[in-house]
């Protein structure tokens, strides 16, 4: 085996070296400035919790969103602020007085425009429950008010047991409020689980109590700063409350990653005999450069989410970019400043025996040499294993989040079930059809009759009639609100869940009927979900191209190789395929409840969550790729063979990557404690992908592939070599 020195030479005039020396000389000023920034960011950043939105899954440019806006602007139709199911003890007519009194109190609330109920309509059959004891009431809010606050007031003041009545409340605002309350509570619970466990493991990973505290310096500043950044962004655009989970999870993750890499290299430099300032400068010149490339890679990767129109996904881009850049700033300033102050005291209060400086030979070097001794069998067997894990993804059924992502005992979920079970063709989720420049009234009526004949349709309301099974059952008493000079609307009520596959199939059947108009727009929950799903699918190739180009460019500029970026992209795709297969098997199939906790199995996987997991996992995978390649290339550039360079690089980074992956996995696995199913999916998916990438991919696939490729790993055409020589990311 070729022997290798512990520390490679660093340029004394490169940008990162000069930054390290600057920080070392002004260590107190840099550290105090960083801490003051944390306090300022924290003071203003926590206001973000009151500025978040609960949804953001719809495509604002879709036909369904256009239909929703036209319904508001042209027809004055808005979603009810609350749909109440009022269960009476004896019967809807016997207990009419009690129900009427309660609804009168609801109507007296500020910002309530009207209340339409079984009792106010003289006993409308569609507002009578199948049990004969439950009546329905629809609460409409005044225009231009904060419906979320009004919905919350209705839930707090009028639901549950009310003088002998049992009141259930459901609406988009009520479900959104439930999600916001759930996510906020989950955030604190996940942190309460992850941080103590992480702190204990950090002690053993870093080897000393002093060193173990440094990741929290980076993570704290990153999280506070990202909260502040999102608060500023929320002043200009909608930001999803779900993004807060990414800030805490990724903030801790990158804080741990970058601090571990910096401290590990600082110990190497000290062990080589350097004075503290020189060791700090050399650390920033080597590990600091790696952190910089990693952070830029993570930020560019997460920026791909900006290509989606849904502000739910865009919010994670805002959060991820903020976290990545702030983590880099903390790792390149605060950590080196504190290391310059601590010097060798970074190893004080040891919890592990022996020298804490990294070793040149050990488990990871032995594993790398074992793999590289038999590269083809290891490569093929590992790829076969990943394909086996990925197999369930061929049966994936994509969906979107609805109230069933909340716990089964959540009042909003229970209310939704009551409305669906007791009211055939529940009015809370109709299919709204907007006809632009329609033909004659007779043609509109004929079109409505065809829609009513779809088996899953309970009734259709046209401008002229109320229709059921192709038969007009009554005139439309509100016909004036269904037609304007240039438009008409039709309301179709089905008996299937709009966000189930059956609801999407019904939407397809409605859209397949030729409409008598210049243009027909179908809106409603099912249409919004289908349009949002299609908008995500339509942009996947753009995001994939962005990630591929980013990978190729950044890794080429970092390594000067053409093959290594291609290898990284291929292995990432294998890893993501396995992650998707595991996610489908667990959540679509309802497996491993002992691990994930109870949730409502819908038979689908949320498409936005899949995209989010894939991009986060890709970003963290590239994070580890940069860590590992940095040491492999550094060794190869000194003249070592590919075999020796890979063994050395894996030995020096294998423990860091595995430890970081374990700690990050704990952070994201804590999301499994969430009460929201999509956050459980996020926690499981990222955890699985991280552990798979840090062990199987880095320990088996990378060494076997690089051994087979040999010197071709470092090949590039002459023009690209000249390009890398001139513009590549390097010290000096």
**Whether residues 562 and 688 fall in one domain:** yes
pLDDT surpasses 70 at 607: yes
Would you say 313 and 322 are in contact if contact means Cβ atoms under 8 Å apart?
no
Reading the block at residue 280, the tokens are 């700090």
311 assigned to some structural domain: yes
From CA 605, how far away is CA 677, in angstroms rounded?
Answer: 10
| Each residue's pLDDT tens digit, 467-505 | 989 899 889 888 888 999 899 999 999 888 887 788 889
Q: What is the CATH number of the domain that holds 150?
A: 3.30.70.1320
**Whether residues 141 and 196 fall in one domain:** no
**Whether residues 304 and 448 fall in one domain:** no
Q: How many structural domains compose the chain?
A: 3
**Whether residues 599 and 634 fall in one domain:** yes
413 assigned to some structural domain: no
At which of 149, 170, 191 does a domain end?
A: 170
pLDDT bracket for residue 540 (50, 70, 90): very high
**Whether residues 50 and 183 fall in one domain:** yes
326 assigned to some structural domain: yes
Q: How many CB atoms lie within 10 A of CB 595?
A: 11
658 assigned to some structural domain: yes
Q: What is the CATH number of the domain that holds 219?
A: 1.20.1640.10
**Whether residues 719 and 577 fall in one domain:** yes
Tell me the pairing of strands 465-468 and 605-606.
unpaired
At which of 471, 504, 523 does a domain end?
A: 523
404 assigned to some structural domain: no
**Whether residues 294 and 340 fall in one domain:** yes
Maximal CA-CA distance, the chain? 93
Would you say 618 and 301 are in contact if contact means Cβ atoms under 8 Å apart?
yes
pLDDT surpasses 70 at 213: yes
Run of H or E residues at 217: helix 214-234
Instruction: Classify residue 601 as exposed, middle or buried by CB count within 10 Å of its CB (0-12, 13-18, 19+).
Output: middle
pLDDT surpasses 90 at 176: no
**Whether residues 588 and 665 fall in one domain:** yes
Would you say 568 and 555 are in contact if contact means Cβ atoms under 8 Å apart?
yes
Residue 359: its pLDDT value, please?
A: 59
At which of 148, 170, 192 does a domain end?
A: 170
Q: What is the CATH number of the domain that holds 469?
A: 3.30.70
Mean pLDDT of 380-402: 92
**Whether residues 337 and 458 fall in one domain:** no
Which of 47-51, 227-231, 236-240 shows the lowest mean pLDDT across its residues? Answer: 47-51
**Whether residues 448 and 371 fall in one domain:** no
Buried/exposed code over 278-298 (b: 16+ C-beta within 10 A; e: otherwise): bbbbbbbbbbbbbbbbbbbbb
Percent helix / strand / coil, the chain, rounded to 5: 65, 10, 25
Run of H or E residues at 488: strand 487-494
Q: Which of 327, 321, 342 is nearest to 221 (CA)?
A: 327
**Whether residues 331 and 458 fall in one domain:** no
411 assigned to some structural domain: no
8 assigned to some structural domain: no
What is the residue range of 90's domain? 80-170
449 assigned to some structural domain: yes
Rounded to two decimals, the pTM is 0.86
CA dist list (Å): 631 to 18, 429, 655: 21, 57, 13
Mean pLDDT of 366-385: 92
Look up residue 2 and give its DSSP letter.
-
**Whether residues 238 and 358 fall in one domain:** yes
pLDDT bracket for residue 356 (50, 70, 90): low
pLDDT surpasses 50 at 1: no
Would you say 621 and 697 are in contact if contact means Cβ atoms under 8 Å apart?
yes
Reading the block at residue 506, the tokens are 């019904």
Collapsed DSSP state (helix, strand, coil) of residue 213: coil
């Amino acid at each position: 085996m070729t022997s290798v020195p512990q520390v490679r030479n660093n340029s004394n005039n490169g940008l990162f070296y000069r930054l390290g020396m600057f920080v070392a000389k002004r260590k107190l000023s840099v550290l105090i400035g960083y801490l003051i920034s944390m306090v300022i960011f924290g003071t203003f950043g926590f206001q973000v919790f009151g500025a978040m939105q609960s949804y953001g899954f719809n495509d604002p440019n879709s036909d369904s969103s256009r239909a929703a806006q036209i319904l508001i602007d042209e027809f004055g139709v808005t979603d009810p602020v609350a749909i109440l199911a009022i269960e009476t003890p004896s019967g809807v007519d016997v207990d009419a007085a009690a129900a009427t009194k309660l609804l009168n109190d609801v109507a007296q609330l500020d910002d309530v425009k009207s209340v339409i109920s079984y009792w106010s309509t003289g006993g409308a059959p569609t507002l009578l429950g199948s049990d004969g004891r439950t009546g329905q009431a629809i609460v409409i809010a005044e225009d231009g008010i904060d419906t979320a606050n009004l919905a919350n007031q209705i839930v707090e003041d009028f639901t549950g047991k009310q003088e002998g009545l049992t009141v259930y409340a459901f609406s988009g605002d009520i479900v959104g409020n439930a999600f916001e309350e759930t996510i906020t509570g989950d955030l604190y619970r996940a942190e309460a689980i992850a941080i103590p466990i992480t702190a204990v493991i950090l002690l053993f990973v870093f080897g000393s109590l002093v060193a173990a505290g440094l990741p929290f310096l980076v993570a704290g500043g990153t999280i506070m700063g990202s909260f502040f950044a999102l608060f500023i962004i929320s002043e200009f655009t909608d930001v999803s409350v779900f993004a807060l989970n990414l800030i805490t999870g990724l903030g801790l993750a990158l804080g741990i990653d970058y601090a571990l890499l910096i401290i590990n290299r600082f110990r190497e430099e000290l062990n080589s005999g350097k004075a503290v300032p020189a060791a700090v400068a050399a650390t920033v010149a080597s590990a600091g450069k790696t952190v910089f490339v990693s952070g830029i890679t993570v930020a560019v990767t997460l920026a791909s989410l900006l290509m989606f129109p849904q502000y739910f996904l865009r919010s994670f881009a805002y959060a991820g970019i903020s976290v990545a850049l702030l983590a880099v700033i903390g790792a390149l300033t605060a950590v080196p400043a504190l290391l310059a102050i601590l010097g060798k005291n970074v190893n004080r209060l040891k919890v592990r025996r022996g020298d804490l400086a990294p070793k040149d030979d050990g488990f990871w070097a032995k594993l790398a040499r074992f793999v590289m001794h038999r590269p083809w069998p290891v490569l093929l067997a590992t790829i076969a294993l990943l394909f086996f894990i990925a197999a369930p993804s061929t049966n994936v059924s994509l969906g979107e989040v609805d109230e069933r992502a909340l716990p089964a005992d959540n009042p909003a979920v229970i209310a939704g079930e009551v409305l669906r079970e007791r009211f055939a063709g529940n009015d809370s989720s109709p299919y709204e059809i907007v006809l632009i420049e329609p033909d004659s009234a007779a043609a509109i009526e004929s079109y409505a009759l065809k829609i009513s004949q779809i088996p899953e349709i309970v009734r259709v309301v046209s401008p002229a009639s109320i229709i059921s099974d192709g038969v007009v059952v009554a005139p439309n008493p509100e016909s004036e609100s269904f037609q304007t000079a240039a438009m008409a609307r039709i309301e179709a009520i089905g008996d299937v869940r709009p966000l189930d596959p059956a609801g999407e199939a019904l939407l397809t059947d409605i859209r397949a009927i030729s409409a008598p108009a210049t243009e027909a727009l179908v809106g409603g929950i099912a249409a919004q979900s289908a349009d949002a799903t299609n908008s995500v699918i339509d942009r996947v190739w753009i995001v994939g191209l962005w990630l591929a180009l980013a990978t190729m460019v950044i890794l080429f500029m970092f390594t000067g190789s053409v093959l290594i970026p291609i290898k990284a992209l291929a292995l990432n795709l294998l890893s993501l395929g396995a992650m998707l297969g595991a996610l489908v098997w667990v959540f679509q199939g309802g497996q491993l409840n002992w691990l994930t906790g109870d949730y409502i199995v819908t038979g689908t996987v949320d498409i936005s969550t899949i995209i989010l997991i894939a991009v986060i996992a890709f970003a963290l995978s590239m994070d580890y790729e940069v860590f590992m390649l940095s040491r492999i290339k550094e060794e190869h550039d000194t003249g070592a063979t590919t075999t020796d360079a890979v063994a050395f690089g894996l030995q020096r980074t294998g423990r860091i990557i595995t430890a970081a992956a374990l700690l990050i996995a704990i952070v994201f696995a804590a999301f499994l404690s969430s009460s929201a199913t999509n956050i459980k999916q996020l926690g499981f998916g990222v955890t699985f992908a991280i552990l798979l990438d840090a062990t199987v991919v880095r320990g088996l696939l990378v060494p076997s592939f690089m051994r087979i490729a040999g010197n071709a790993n470092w090949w590039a055409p002459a023009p690209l070599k000249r390009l890398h020589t001139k513009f590549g990311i390097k010290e000096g």
